Amino acid sequence: MLKNNPSQFPLSSNTGSEPALEFLASNLRVCRASHAQCRIFTPNTGYFPTRVVDVGQVHDTLVQVRKYSDLAQRSEYVTLSHCWGGTQFVTLTVETEAMLYPGIAVKALPHTFQDAIFVCRKLRFHYLWIDSLWVLLLYHSHAFDC
């Protein structure tokens, strides 16, 4: 439960504004510092996906898919779980996997993905797991595990 007083932060109509992101970062700091239940889930416990998106740095134009097993050490990652709706977007299939590993332009991704990448970068998370990018893989091919 977040205990920060929202009135400490100026209201903004843009959830990507610096005050909005600082509000989010502040609540994340409180969570990490004072929520014992939330600290149960660390990079050394729990489930890890086999693939994550390396979001890179703030001004990078590309993001890369990385096999989690190739990372030097277990690291925190952010999960994007959203309503897929009827929108057609990039999913990981045998055909798209080869395209995704060298890097994919952030601008080529759906806005929801772009927003998640933006927030990850601002909060200094390096890895993002996107359910729709991976889950549909199971539907298209049994050659990979999620």
Point out which residues bind Zn ion (CB under 5 A). Answer: 31, 35, 38
> Nearer Cβ to Zn ion, position 77 or 113?
77
Return the closest-CA partner of residue 29 out of 39, 19, 42. Answer: 39
Provide the minimum distance between the beta carbon of 83 and Zn ion in the complex, in angstroms, as a whole number. Answer: 24
> Nearer Cβ to Zn ion, position 31 or 99?
31
**Residue 108, phi-psi category: left (phi > 0), alpha (psi -120 to 50), beta (remainder):** alpha
Provide the minimum distance between the beta carbon of 38 and Zn ion in the complex, in angstroms, as a whole number. Answer: 3
> Nearer Cβ to Zn ion, position 120 or 133?
120
Query: Residue 112 and residue 119: Cα distance in Å, rounded?
Result: 11
Provide the minimum distance between the beta carbon of 129 and Zn ion in the complex, in angstroms, as a whole number. Answer: 19
Provide the minimum distance between the beta carbon of 57 and Zn ion in the complex, in angstroms, as a whole number. Answer: 26
> Nearer Cβ to Zn ion, position 36 or 72?
36
